Amino acid sequence: MSTPSSLRRTIASATLVAVGALASCEGDPRPYGNHDLALLTSYAAKEMCSCVFVMKKDEPFCLRFTRANPNIRTVRVNYEGRFVDAFAALAWGARARFISQREGCRLEQ
């Protein structure tokens, strides 16, 4: 038997599923699972990595180069490990790792 709080959660979940299903109807813009902050951190990590390790530009240049809208990400370059972490709003993050000069950088999964 459902408690009032679990019932509310069930109703909320069903509503989200319904909204999601409506949003993915044919004819609508393709409903990519792009969360803005996920895109933002992936973009920042990958492009910062390529900027520093492939193009060999300095960090201040690369921070300006990878600035995006909204500009709320934090980027950390690890020169020893040759990777870049990008974070936004605590919960979102991405890492791009430099593979080699030929293969450049790659986002980690």
Partner 1 sequence: MSLRTKITLAAIVAMIPTTASAQSACPAGVTYPDATWPSRAQEVATQRAAEIAALEQFAFTLTGEDEERRGVRTDSVVIVHRGAIIYERYARSWTAEQPHYAWSVTKSVMNVLAGIAVARGYLTIDDSICRWMPFLPMDRCAIRVRNALEFSTGLDWRETYENASNQESSVLAMLYGEGRSDAARFVATHPFRDAPGTTYMYSSGDSNILSRAVERAYAAGGEDADYPWRRLFEPLGITSATLERDATGTIIGSSWWYATPKDMARFGYFLLRDGCWRDGRILPERWVSDSTAVNPAIRMRRLDADADDVQGRQFWLNKPIPEQNVTTPWMGVPEDAFAARGHWGQSITVIPSRDLVIVRTADDRQTGAFNFARFVSLAMEVAR
Residues contributing to the site for partner 1 (CB under 8 A): 26, 29-34, 36, 38-39, 42-43, 46, 50, 54-57, 61, 64-65, 67-69, 101-107, 109
Are the CB atoms for 77 and 66 separated by under 8 Å? Answer: no
Residue 73: CB atoms within 10 A of its CB come to 23
**Side chain identity at residue 73, one-letter code:** R
**Least distance (Å) from partner 1 to the CB of residue 76?**
18
**Least distance (Å) from partner 1 to the CB of residue 14?**
23
Between 2 and 91, CB nearer to partner 1: 91
End-to-end CA distance of the chain: 40
* Phi, psi (rounded to 5 degrees) for 14: -60, -40
- The runs of H, that is alpha helices, within the chain are 4-23, 36-49, 59-65
Between 4 and 60, CB nearer to partner 1: 60
**Least distance (Å) from partner 1 to the CB of residue 101?**
6
Between 77 and 105, CB nearer to partner 1: 105
**Least distance (Å) from partner 1 to the CB of residue 30?**
7
Between 10 and 24, CB nearer to partner 1: 24
Q: How far apart are CA 15 and CA 32, in angstroms?
A: 19
